[in-house]
Amino acid sequence: MNALQLQLEDLQQAFAHEPSPSFAERKERIERLVAMIDKYEENLCKVVHADFGNRHSVETRLTELAMVRQTAKYTIKHLKSWMKMRDISLPMHLKPSKAWVQAQPKGVVGIISPWNYPIQLALIPAISAMAAGNKVWLKLSERSPRTSGYLATIIGEFFHPLELCVTTGGEDAARDFSELAFDHLFFTGSTSIGKRVMRAAAENLTPLTLELGGKSPVVINDDANLADAATRIIYGKLINGGQTCVAPDYILIKHELIPELKDALAQAAETLSLIHI
């Protein structure tokens, strides 16, 4: 815990020396992150496969690396407008004063990422935090140790630890990490662990973003094309072995349509299982 506290203090001091990075600096860091995954794309696919045991490289490229690239592209495209000052109108009795709103970095942002999408759910929040001008500290999941270890290595190649810092380790490390006085803490994972993170963060009044697993309904209208709906439901449910926070969990449909939907779901599952990638 002492070592973690010292690292946090180093990051806080680094932020104090650079409290508001320019657009060019933020853009360059995001582009550097994309260059990192471009350079090591094949190896990233291999370590994810080693952790999962059955994750095809196409699935990793689609659900992890492509999403990181798309997020980076979208962020860079809109970042200048996000950083602009917005004038605010004032009542007559406050004239000739002027007022405006301008987004400012918070400071040091901690990110606790999960194992089911070990690349994108670590790097996408990091892109958002870097775009906002913050220093970023990742705690990578111990349940995908090969991917986490490799990510830590290549991040160390591309980033100074006072720009983007990485910590690995088990549950004790995650607990100690969540107890640090971050300026913002981002957690993705289960509801039960999310409650623990919230309790730990409350001690420091740390603002939180919690992206927790839940129950995702599918609503099917009476006039829907059931074959199309079934294909989309099965795809969403089975991709990444079903380990997706928005994977459909239950279906709301008119009772009379249930038999037809069951047949369509079975047919969709059989068809998709025959597709070899």
Cα-based torsion angle of the residue sequence 53, 178, 215, 147 in order, rounded to the nearest 10 degrees: -20
From the candidates 25, 31, 211, 270, give the one annotated as an active-site residue.
Answer: 211
- DSSP 8-state assignment for residue 76: H
Residue 234 near residue 210 (C-beta atoms within 8 A):
no
In three-state secondary structure terms, 45 is helix
Told to judge if 45 belongs to the known catalytic residues of this protein, a careful annotator would answer no
Q: How far is CA 232 from CA 33, 62, 192, 238, in A?
A: 32, 16, 29, 10
The tokens describing 156, both together, are 């160390």
Annotated active-site residue in 28, 45, 245, 256: 245
Report the C-alpha gap between 100 and 237 in whole angstroms: 46
Residue type, 42: E
Q: Is 64 a catalytic residue?
A: no
* Active site positions, annotated: 211, 245
